[in-house]
Amino acid sequence: EAGVAQSPRYKIIEKRQSVAFWCNPISGHATLYWYQQILGQGPKLLIQFQNNGVVDDSQLPKDRFSAERLKGVDSTLKIQPAKLEDSAVYLCASSLDFRGGTQTQYFGPGTRLLVL
């Protein structure tokens, strides 16, 4: 079974530029998560989707970050305009369904973003 796929793996941009990350979850997983991991810290949830609906985006900086999961499968996370403090690893994860059970989240390899 294929795992969570993410691209690109690395991205370097200048501040005020825009950037987009793509995630393809494990087949059949209804719940998709985007986490931000700043160096030396644990991941922090940015946004969570259930199929194509948003479950939690309370920690998403909505003035610059946006995300979508239009067909309930792939997802895109965008930053526009980027700031220096956005330098981090962006991790995508998926689970079968966040409601009930163990609901283990499986993570992709992440995208390392450096904003100069």
**Contact residues for other proteins, defined by CB under 8 A:** 31, 33, 40-45, 48, 55-56, 89, 91, 93, 95, 98-99, 102-110, 112
Dihedral sign, CA of 4, 35, 56, 64? negative
Decide whether 25 or 43 has the Cβ nearer to other proteins.
Answer: 43
Q: What is the nearest approach in angstroms of other proteins to the Cβ of residue 26?
A: 12
Q: Which residue has the tokens 């979850």?
A: 25
Q: What is the nearest approach in angstroms of other proteins to the Cβ of residue 15?
A: 23
Distance of alpha carbon 92 from the chain centroid: 4
